[in-house]
Structure 1
Amino acid sequence: MLHVRKIKLVGIIIAICMLFTETRLSFASHAITIYDSSIIWEDVAARSQLLTTIPHWHSEAMLSLFDAYLNPERYQLSRKKEAKQYNAQFIHAFWGPLDNPFNKYARPGKVFVFISEPIAQAPPNLPVTEIFYMAPIIQNDADKNYYVFDNQQSQPMILADWIANIRAIHGNQKIIRINVCNSYGSLPTDSCAESTYQNEAASTLNQLRVSITAPPSAHRDIKEDWKLNLDRSTRLRTTVGTDVIYEKSISWDDVTSRNNLLNITTAWQNYKLIKEGFEKIRDLRYFNDESQANFMRRISWLYPDDGCWTRAAAVIKDFFGPFNNIASTLPRPAKIFAFGNLCANTPNSPGGRVSWWYHTAPVVRDAETSQSYVLDPSVNPNKPLTVEQWMADISSQSAACAYTDSYVSVFNICNGYGVGPYDSCAEPQQVSYATETYAMLGQSTYRYSERRRQVELGRDANLVLGNSPPWLN
């Protein structure tokens, strides 16, 4: 099985590379692009119609979110040097997918401004559009003006004033075209309607470094001892040192230390809120299916064999964003990591079980009772599990997991951007918001495996991956 896992990790890196390539292709699709559908700024009627689509906020929200926009470090986000990437990161990080049920405010639009020479003056063999701007835009409920966020300014700018500034920089003779995208498109060559959440995520990253490595596969052959996987990754372990999630894990059987560690878990108000949040996380379809056009996918809950680290990263990053996110209704969950001879019974595997040497999922604490709950639909899609029940379920010795030497050895809680056993949990020089972004992009490989698995199980893949998942039947 080891060669299969290596292929899967290579596939994840290739998938991310493809996303980077796709976001930089020029007019490869026949879809109407953001530039193609742009309008001349001076066309007042068309401009008025275009601006009616812009989301609106109240003044207090606008000012507090502009302050957040100017200070990404406060939220443990990197300060992008390139303005368009800076702006894409702000929108993507704070709001996540379009229908994110945890958003406190509407996702801002993206205003695009294209600067070009008049056709007669354009140099031969060069595209007419040479320069473009992209920035967040909203309408203020109080004065009904449209405001642009520009990181070179100390306050939000009225759209007309922002355009006037651009004219002053580039000259009054230039042609100015504008467009607004209230979706994932981030480049002139993107289709606003057809660009994907995955593409938007990739556009926030500086570049793909060849040193990026996916966390190790969580899969364990049922007859193997979990520590063999540690031996296989000795080289990686000695490279990363001891300040990592696995090396700092503690015995699950040490009840006092266990409870002390669980107390650092992010708290949500009560169980009712935790259960509602669990169902929203489980059900939202926001990824474009890479193998079938116009088909939206959930996180890969129906392929429990591997990829737990991509699922956990997707939940926390996509739904809750960076630390202290003022645009979210709830604080981001922590991640729980369990290590040992793990075995879970599941109807989503031909053998009725899956086995791992580690497993991770989001975890929150009920503020009323101090009980910790794991949000893991791959193990139980019907409800959040108490941490004790989750540990029991992933070290089962019944049903298909009977006669297996299953147990949890050690565990850890990470309130940071680390996603795998050999990541630092929260050391800024080693992990960042981008770490979770890369991990989330790795979901593409597991979406493919999840679709193939449904066919293998004799299910109608489009049905169960679409509107009729198993937990609704």
Structure 2
Amino acid sequence: MISCPIDHAKSLTLPIASPKTFVMKKLSLILLVSLFSSTVFAVGISAKRNRGETYKVAHLRNMSLKFNQPMGPFQSPEEPYIGSSNNVWDVKVPLKKLKIKEIPDLGSYADLENQFKILRDERFINKNSDFPRRSTWLYPDDGCFARAELMKTRLVDAHLPAPKKIFIFGDLWVSSKNARYGDISWWYHVAVTYRVGDEAYVLDPAIEPARPLKLAEWNHLMGGDKKRFDFSLCHPDTVDPRDDCKDIQAISLEKALEMQEPYLDYEWERLIELKRDPQAELGAFPPWLMN
């Protein structure tokens, strides 16, 4: 073993940082790492909107949580999130202004419907369970970002054109037999979209497991006929409203599965809470095949 001599006289002259300086540097490093990781690596952000809360307040609340900062007393929910000018939230527009022609055309409705059923029915998630699981269609409360990302990944793996991600913002409300109280409130929702000719369709089995929805129907089911909602049509790899809508780095399949994993337990628990059989419904007998 080769030892390195130490000059003790010189080592004693090195400056020693005070405990306060050390703590401040450590906190600065933690904050820097936190900000970098949160802006570069998408991890998904909750879509839940509290009862009585507007979508703008929910948006600001979630953006504040991103940086572990409380909403300031003089901060208005009208204020836009300060970040990339191309982030999903900032580029939203009314439905009539969406550039539908940017959505990939799958060619035929029959092909679209076939892919929808594959995405809906295939049990591809291997967890510590007696059987593989589907995406969490029966827990619509949250996790739409994970479901949409897994749909996109599977479609690309099947050598299909990458679908666009479509985000909707507003005081969203949807009726669901899979909800605790029969309905769900979101401040945003996301799914994947294809086009067939001039008609845009949204693939969203958590809302409608029977078939792809026309974009206007998707909007209608969340209350868009009564309130104005805004939309963002984004890059296939966009995950949540914090991301750049046009230029975003793809996350791995492992990361997408990691985002989905906690909602698998919530889905199982929800079915028990509703006095239904998770072993059957999450296995070979999903409700859409039993009706």
Range into which the TM-score falls when normalised by the shorter chain: 0.7 to 0.9
Q: Does 1:382 align with 2:210?
A: yes
What is the CA-CA distance between 1:408 and the residue it aligns to?
4.2
Whole-angstrom distance in 2 between the partners of 1:228 and 1:349: 23
What is the CA-CA distance between 1:222 and the residue it aligns to?
3.2
What is the CA-CA distance between 1:350 and the residue it aligns to?
2.2
Deviations 1:158-182 (A, max 9, x none): xxxxxxxxxxxxxxxxxxxxxxxxx
Q: Given the alignment, which residue of 265, 271, 296 partners 2:103?
A: 265
Cα 1:351–1:390, aligned 2, differ >3 Å: closer, same or farther?
A: same
Matched with 1:222 is 51
Cα 1:249–1:267, aligned 2, differ >3 Å: closer, same or farther?
A: same
Deviations 1:31-81 (A, max 9, x none): xxxxxxxxxxxxxxxxxxxxxxxxxxxxxxxxxxxxxxxxxxxxxxxxxxx
Paired AA for residue 355 in structure 1: S
Q: How many residues align?
A: 239
Question: Alignment RMSD, CA only?
Answer: 2.1
Whole-angstrom distance in 2 between the partners of 1:238 and 1:378: 28
Matches within 5 A, 1:344-355: 344-355=174-185
Q: Does 1:241 align with 2:70?
A: no
The answer to whether the Cα contact below 8 Å between 2:169 and 2:231 also exists between their aligned partners in 1 is yes
Q: Given the alignment, which residue of 320, 323, 341 partners 2:171?
A: 341
- TM-score normalised by the chain length of structure 2: 0.76
Q: Can you give the 5+ residue segments of structure 2 that lack an aligned partner in the other structure?
A: 1-35, 67-79
The answer to whether the Cα contact below 8 Å between 1:391 and 1:408 also exists between their aligned partners in 2 is no
The answer to whether the Cα contact below 8 Å between 1:266 and 1:331 also exists between their aligned partners in 2 is yes
Matched with 1:297 is 133
Whole-angstrom distance in 1 between the partners of 2:82 and 2:228: 26
The answer to whether the Cα contact below 8 Å between 1:364 and 1:372 also exists between their aligned partners in 2 is yes
Q: Does 1:231 align with 2:55?
A: no
Whole-angstrom distance in 1 between the partners of 2:250 and 2:84: 21
Paired AA for residue 94 in structure 2: S
The answer to whether the Cα contact below 8 Å between 1:419 and 1:436 also exists between their aligned partners in 2 is no
Whole-angstrom distance in 2 between the partners of 1:443 and 1:234: 21
Deviations 1:418-467 (A, max 9, x none): 1101101232xxx3222675234210011111111111111111100000
Cα 1:365–1:210, aligned 2, differ >3 Å: closer, same or farther?
A: closer
- TM-score normalised by the chain length of structure 1: 0.48
The answer to whether the Cα contact below 8 Å between 1:244 and 1:423 also exists between their aligned partners in 2 is yes
Cα 1:408–1:313, aligned 2, differ >3 Å: closer, same or farther?
A: farther
Whole-angstrom distance in 1 between the partners of 2:284 and 2:57: 40
Q: Does 1:464 align with 2:281?
A: yes
Q: Does 1:446 align with 2:263?
A: yes
Deviations 1:295-315 (A, max 9, x none): 110011000000000000000
What is the CA-CA distance between 1:215 and the residue it aligns to?
2.7
Whole-angstrom distance in 2 between the partners of 1:299 and 1:437: 14
Deviations 1:187-209 (A, max 9, x none): xxxxxxxxxxxxxxxxxxxxxx9
Deviations 1:114-164 (A, max 9, x none): xxxxxxxxxxxxxxxxxxxxxxxxxxxxxxxxxxxxxxxxxxxxxxxxxxx
Flag the structure with more relative contact order, 1 or 2, with Cα contacts below 8 A and sequence separation at least 6: 2
Whole-angstrom distance in 1 between the partners of 2:252 and 2:234: 14
What is the CA-CA distance between 1:417 and the residue it aligns to?
1.1
What is the CA-CA distance between 1:412 and the residue it aligns to?
1.0
Larger CA deviation: 434-443 vs 312-321: 434-443
Q: What percent identity do the matched residue pairs reach?
A: 31
